């Protein structure tokens, strides 16, 4: 099976709807720039650090005209607990069917402790109000990433 074609800068993102901790999320209802970040799993070290980094810069993103939404395959219950535990002020989308993950081409075969596993490649996408992808980061390393995304958002 071939990898799906991943969107790249300049592409229009197909409208989507998904369940989130803030209710039903719809790309069609977007009224500001969207920072959509995909992460492998709630309550794991890298994902927690990344989410807390976004939390700590949340006001700066809002000031720059952007909203943040996180996405993983975790359940809504897991997301609610994760959001509460770390006081995340933004919505988390639950994508257990991997439909959104497939749309953005973030599902990858990886090695974990020497064993092949299929999981989310940590990725961040900035999408404008018209649904156009402005920038994509794939295979993200957590340290410094949120600051880099914020600088990009501020410059656009």
Q: Give the distance from CA 17 to its chain's centroid.
A: 14
Run of H or E residues at 66? strand 66-72
Rounded to an integer, what distance in angstroms lies between the CA atom of residue 153 and that of residue 94? Answer: 24
Catalytic residue (one of 13, 35, 36, 47): 47
Per the annotation, the verdict on 101 as an active-site residue is no
Residues 116 and 122 sit within 8 Å (Cβ to Cβ): no
Rounded to an integer, what distance in angstroms lies between the CA atom of residue 134 and that of residue 42? Answer: 26
122 by Cβ neighbours in 10 Å (0-12 / 13-18 / 19+) ranks as buried
Annotated catalytic residues are 47
């Amino acid at each position: 099976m071939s990898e799906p074609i991943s969107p790249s800068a300049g592409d229009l993102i197909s409208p989507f709807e998904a369940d989130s901790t803030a209710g039903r999320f719809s790309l069609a209802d977007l009224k500001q720039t969207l920072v959509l970040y995909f992460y492998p799993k709630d309550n794991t070290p890298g994902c927690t650090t990344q989410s807390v980094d976004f939390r700590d810069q949340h006001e700066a993103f809002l000031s720059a005209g952007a909203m943040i939404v996180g996405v993983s395959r975790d359940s809504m219950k897991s997301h609610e607990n994760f959001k509460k535990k770390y006081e995340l002020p933004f919505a988390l989308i639950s994508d257990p069917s991997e439909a959104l993950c497939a749309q953005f081409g973030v599902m990858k075969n990886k090695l974990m402790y020497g064993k092949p596993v299929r999981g989310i490649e940590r990725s961040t996408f900035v999408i404008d109000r018209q649904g156009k992808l402005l920038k994509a980061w794939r295979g993200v390393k957590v340290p410094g990433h949120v600051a880099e995304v914020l600088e990009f958002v501020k410059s656009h």
